[in-house]
Chain A
Amino acid sequence: MEMVLSHDNNIALAKQGNRRELAKLLTIIESGERLPIKESNESWVLGVTGPPGVGKSTLIGVMIDEWVRRGEKVAVLAIDPSSPKSGGALLGDRMRMSSADNGESVFIRSLATRNHPGGLMPFLDSMINLLSYCGWTKIIIETVGSGQSEIRIVAFANRIMLVDGPDRGDIIQAEKAGIIELADIIVINKSDLPNSDAAAISIKKSLEYSNKGNDTIVMLTSSINNTGVSELIEELDNLHVDKDRSILRTKERLLSAWDYRLLSNPSLNDILLNLESGAINLDEALNHL
């Protein structure tokens, strides 16, 4: 009880704008503790996904500047992978959003995936609720950016932006991954490079081909030249979210919680060793867990 009371005090301070308290509360949430904050359906949460190297972090950096100019308070949760060998992580997303380290209207927190594949852990919900409660009006989750786990972003974000680059040659890859169908906005970044127009057209065609009434927005941006960014912000702010994802959202939330529980099971290591040595089979392992 005492614990909860002391957190209440910290939460109150964070709500008043104390960043240090907010940062410490996020650490507490990351460690697996639940905070007594009401769930909110009002939060504005944008999931930013797309292959590594297309410029997600840099683009978010310039988007932050634009939103701050418009009087918004922007919080970013930037997820980077942990090393499967050492468990350590090199979190370098925020170095590309460096103009954002000034001013009171931006808060960036780097998160390592730890042992959770894709890093889209169930406690992201609590982090979003806390940030929203503390008055952050635009909350962005930047995903690791690879693998089919990307779809899980629908569990946490109510708007989804897929970022790709020109001339990547793997627009087919994006289609395979399925996230292209879920995205509300698709951005071809690095439009200062050749072939970006062609990339945008081919994505539009491909979307029309699979779904006649498709209204997914396809846009071009260049973070270096700062072109297309204010248009992108305009689209995002006016985005009418009508894609029915509620079943998928619920399913991905369940899977996220399920993965988390499985991977935090204290006997997981013993079971893995038994499984590896052949002492038990997969079905038995699942039953133990």
Chain B
Amino acid sequence: MSMRIVIAKPGLDGHDRGAKVIARALRDAGHEVIYTGLRRKPSEIVRVVMDEDAVAVGLSTLSGAHNVLIPKVCEELISNGMGDVIVFAGGIIPESDRDYLYSLGVRAIFGPGTKTSSIIDFLEIISERKNSQLDVGVGEKIGWRWS
């Protein structure tokens, strides 16, 4: 099932090789990927997700600011009535920070060494969950996540 997905680089982080590899992998799996480019504000990312009517947004961050930037994106999605959008993250996010992000509605965190096929599998599952009306969006009931 082809989806529209935003791949975004929040904050002052100039490392986008990972984001570009993911964007390509998703394209090759048949998805339509909107790449935001570098150094975007959370509000800009939410605007892109809204205008593009994307189903999901992937946030790539390697700067260490994930505990500030990712919560902002989640909050703004929810406050703009987009709680059904699926949020996943990637980059350098220590294990000890992950539970906090999951508690905000992030449904998957992919660290270094992740196979692109895992991300494709994750997208298949979220698509199935969405179709079965199971909780998967950032503003929906917390519980299920990719592991």
Contacts and interface: CB of A to CB of B under 8 A. Distances in A.
B contact face: mostly helix, strand, loop, or mixed: mixed
Given A20-B81, A88-B28, A95-B35, 13 more contacts: A23-B53, A26-B53, A83-B27, A83-B28, A85-B28, A88-B29, A91-B32, A94-B36, A101-B44, A101-B48, A102-B44, A102-B47, A108-B51
Nearest to B44: A101
Given A26-B53, A98-B40, A110-B52, A90 B47 contact: no
Contacts, number: 74
Closest 4 pairs between A and B when the two form their complex, measured CB to CB: A95-B37, A88-B27, A101-B44, A23-B53
A96 interface: yes
A interface: dominant SS: mixed
B47 A88 contact: no
Among A19, A23, A90, chain B packs the most CB atoms within 10 A around the CB of A90
Given A23-B53, A98-B44, A88 B30 contact: yes
Interface of A: 19-20, 23-24, 26-27, 82-83, 85-92, 94-96, 98, 101-102, 107-110, 112
B104 interface: no
Interface residues of B, number: 27
Contacts of A107: 51
B81 A87 contact: no
B47 A89 contact: no
A94 B52 CA distance: 10
B34 A91 contact: yes
A90 B4 CA distance: 10
Contacts of A87: 2, 30
A244 to B, nearest CB: 36
15 contacts: A19-B50, A23-B53, A24-B53, A26-B53, A83-B28, A88-B32, A90-B23, A90-B27, A90-B35, A94-B34, A94-B48, A95-B36, A101-B44, A109-B51, A110-B34
